[in-house]
Structure 1
Amino acid sequence: MKKIYTLSAMLAAFALQAQFTVTIQTPADFKDKDAILYTLNGSKDIIVTKEQSKNNTWTFKYPNHYMGMMKVYFPGSNNTVSFISENKNVNFKLDIQKDKVKDVVYLDEANELMSKQQDGSQKKELILPALGQIKEYYKDNTEFGKALKLEIERLSGSSSSIDAAQHPFISYYNTNYSKFLSNSPDGAKKVDQEEVINFLDKSNDMLESSSLLRPVLVAYLNSGGNTNVGASVDKLLDRLKVETPRGQTVLSELIDIFDVYQMDEFKTKYLGLAKNLKCTINDRLASTLKSNANVEMGAAFPNYKFQSATNTTAKSIYDVKADKKVIVFWSSTCSHCETELPKLLEKYNDLKTKDIQVIALSLDVDKNSYTKKIAAFPWINDSELRGWNSNYVETYNVHATPTYFILDANNKIISKPEHVGNVLEYFKLK
């Protein structure tokens, strides 16, 4: 009995050791009450928990070991703040102006250090090359020339080394960003594919939580050239093994990349590979499979409950009765939408006479911009005003705006037009 008690005590002690808190402070005039904490898996934000403020302070308790990127999202004001965890308490204050985050003051050592490192890296990549060009036009013995020379020397200096034992995530992130993704003048030479494969194969769990996975994969695909994409992917997946969690996460990221860049041939091939796996599927790949299954041709378009829809009394997509429905995901800040939606508007009365209803779901964040824009749209409009944090982004596998779907009377997907011209052509209105 004593041994069991001792073991229980050890497990409890480990749990307490692994737990850390995230504390966020805001001014008294910040109106938001709710905040949502996320971790990261590849390029997917994973909801951890939702908390309410107490005296304009949010305290999140994270019960597990975690090193990597995190973010907190305030849905009421659509503010997002990113930070890191090194499995230690995180603490920061927000400077708020008119309900928008203007500045973040990090109070814990890791985030303060990471913020300084990021600021220095950005200046080195973006400003240093320009300063080098400007320097050619000023003599070193002038006041401006002297100041310019000093700033170039300062930015050219090597970043302060990070103690990996004290700051393992910062060290991991900086080392691998510099090696695989840096654009600074003194950045590493372009690595070959074998180096990238070894990194993806041998890296620890911080790869998935670091935000590096997707950009490294894009760099890997680019390094092989447009004619060798399939061979590059096959080589990578053969090394990683798609039966493993790492292999499945990479496969999921690749499918999404092919979706974003409209590389349909490769998306179809590797989505098929994922569907045919006989092993246990991890959460990351399962979410990709589900969102793609939701919008396959012939699938029942998942229902969506409207938040504050205009031009309708219907409560959801399924409540809208029509022979056909055109679903369009758009945004008032999207230049392509600015071009395409007026063309849909020109033919809207013709669509109505054919018993075709248009339902536009917006990825806007600014209520004023959204409200002004939809004043001209007579169809059904709705928005969560949460941008790419909107719930329907993952549900309907939306990667770009505008995105169109055509549904039949039973809400089955019968077409997925690429452009508004394809929508009008489908209904013989072009």
Structure 2
Amino acid sequence: MKKIFILSGMLFTFSLQAQFSVTIQSPADFREQEAILYTLNGSKDIIVTKEQSKSNTWTFKYPKSYEGMMKVFFPNTNNTLSFISENKNVNIKLETENNKVKNVIYLDEANELMNSIQESSQKKELILPALSQIKEYYKDNTDFGKALIAEMGRLSGNNVINQSQHPFIYYYNTNYSKFLSNDNSKKVTQDEIINLFDKSGDMLETSSLVRPILVAYLNTGGNTNVGESVDKLINTLKVETPRGQTVLSELIDIFDIYEMPEYKNKYLSLAKNLKCTITDRLASTLKSNANVELGAVFPNYKFHSAVNTTVKSISDVKADQKVIVFWSSTCSHCENELPKLLEKYSEIKAKNIQIIGLSLDTDKESYTRKIAAFPWINDSELKGWNSSYAETYNIHATPTYFILDANNKIVSKPDHVGDVLNYLKIK
């Protein structure tokens, strides 16, 4: 298979003539030097470049036209900042406390407007239903009744967006309202969604709407028509096209997340057997899935700051078998399952089986408090879903388990802790 680089996840060199710039200012006590800029393709964040702080200011110069969602990640303090670009300069000021972003002040027109619309939408969803209930207890001709009616009318109103001045905001809000909003009383058809994917320009990929609208599309077809619905969509889009491959990649991930292995395997096989040029987006999906196929050698991971071990990487751990578990201290399923591993840890260790926990936590205190009870090897980058191993090992949920043999070959991918213990023959 050939591979083209539409927008590589690798860092690339910028020309001095930027199309627009992103400037972020922080207080002097915000102890962060590095910041990483991302764009978006479907639901996948694409690394653009890194910048170092200069007088508590980061300035990213973007050399191409781009309209869509962007984000900046501060790796040392684990803060993430989301915003939009309409191919114009972005200017943001941060208010921080104890090295955490406390408030974001958008200084450019596009982000100020987008933020205002988002806040109005949240109030509409949260407050309007409550006001409707309260209104039943007050007469319309009372002062309070009149105030309620006025506020409900304000919250019910739609924001008028000038498409020519704010094309991305118009695109995002129009399609969110039509395809995803709970307020939309008219049921959207599959043909309407197919038409969106078939006719929309590049802002679809950069909007963050691809995955939720695909889920909505599958729901319109019902559980009994999933394969038929997917085939109808990708046959229209053509898997030889970048749009078709983005959708195919997203669908493979969706079927993985919702534990639908029959459909995941079907469309993963379709992707593997393509003879056309493969985009970066689909190539990354193929690679992360290939990394964790049964029988594959588990890609090595160099530990970040591992506890309960002196070795430097997974491959350095010597054992007859290894249980790799991806987890988080905030995961309720992990809270139920990991204590069962702890109960059987003595028996597991007696069989020369090592447990290695890789955490998707972001809060160091929460992570440290939790691993104090776990005697096995624990490590975390404390970057949550920005952790490098989330993509490497195709992790979409916690807990996720892998069992490796002595040569680090994947011999089992259990769904639950009970499956882990059964495979290890521990009762």
What TM bracket, shorter-length normalisation?
Answer: over 0.9
Tell me the equivalent position of 2:414. 417
Unaligned runs of 5+ in 1: 1-14
Q: Could you tell me which residue of structure 2 aligns to residue 178 of structure 1?
A: 177
Residue number in structure 2 paired with 1:256: 253
The residue identity in structure 1 corresponding to 2:291 is N
| C-alpha contact 1:72 1:81 (8 A) present in aligned 2 | yes
| 1:393-430 deviation per Cα after TM superposition (whole angstroms, max 9, x unaligned) | 00000000000000000000000000000000011112
Residue of structure 1 in register with 2:117 after alignment: 117
RCO higher in structure (CA 8 A, sep ≥6): 2
**Inter-partner Cα distance in structure 1 for 2:104 and 2:187:** 34
1:175 deviates by: 1.0
1:188-209 C-alpha deviation (Å, 9 max, x unpaired): 5111000000010000000000
d(CA) in 2 for partners of 1:125 and 1:230?
34
Counterpart CA distance in 2 for 1:104 and 1:229 is 41
1:158 equivalent in structure 2: 158
Per-residue CA deviations over 1:83-141 (Å, capped at 9, x if unaligned) read: 00011110010111121112111111111111111111222233222221221122234
Q: Is the 8 A contact 2:95 2:102 kept in 1?
A: yes
Equivalent residue runs for 1:300-379 within 5 Å: 300-379=297-376
Amino acid at match of 1:176: N
- 2:5 aligns to what? none
Aligned with 1:208 (options 205, 220, 228): 205
Gaps in structure 2 of 5+ consecutive residues: 1-14
Please name the residue that 2:44 is paired with.
44
- Whether contact under 8 Å (2:36, 2:50) holds in the other structure is yes
Say which SS state the counterpart of residue 318 (structure 1) adopts. Answer: helix
- Aligned-pair identity in percent equals 77
Aligned length in residues: 413
2:316 equivalent to 1:299: no
Distance between the aligned counterparts of 2:36 and 2:138, measured in 1? 51
Q: CA RMSD in A?
A: 1.2
Does residue 148 of the first structure (1) align with residue 148 of the second (2)?
Answer: yes
Deviation of 1:366 after TM superposition, in Å, equals 0.6
SS at match of 2:83: strand
Q: SS at the partner of 2:227? A: helix
Please name the residue that 1:66 is paired with.
66
Amino acid at match of 1:323: D
Deviation at residue 290 of structure 1 after TM alignment: 0.4
Post-superposition shift, 1:16? 7.6
**CA displacement, residues 360-398 of structure 1 (integer Å, 9 cap, x when unaligned):** 000111111111111111100000001111000000000
SS across alignment from 2:315: coil
Distance 1:337 1:138 in 2: 48
Q: CA deviation at 1:302?
A: 0.3
Cα deviation, 1:42-78, whole Å, max 9, x if unaligned, reads: 0000011111111110001111111100000111111
1:11-54 C-alpha deviation (Å, 9 max, x unpaired): xxxx8876111000011110111111000000000011111111
Deviation string, structure 1 residues 162-217 (Cα, Å, up to 9, x no partner): 12111111111111111111112xx3511100000001000000000000100110
Alignment of 1:202-281 (within 5 A): 202-281=199-278
Q: What's the secondary structure of 1:421's corresponding residue?
A: helix
Structure 2: which amino acid aligns with 1:401? T
Which amino acid in 1 is paired with 2:405? D
Code of the aligned partner of 2:219: N
Structure 1 counterpart SS, 2:316: coil
For 1:3-82, what aligned pairs fall within 5 Å after superposition?
19-82=19-82
Partner Cα separation in structure 1 for residue 127 and residue 45 of structure 2: 31
Which is worse superposed, 130-139 or 208-217? 130-139
CA contact (8 A) 1:66 1:85 kept: yes
Distance of 2:57 and 2:18 partners within structure 1: 23
Distance 1:38 1:354 in 2: 45
Structure 2 counterpart of 1:29, one-letter code: D
Say which SS state the counterpart of residue 29 (structure 1) adopts: coil
Q: For residues 211-248 of structure 1, what are the alpha-carbon distances to aligned partners after superposition, in whole Å with 9 as ceiling and x for unaligned?
A: 01001100000000000000000000110001111000
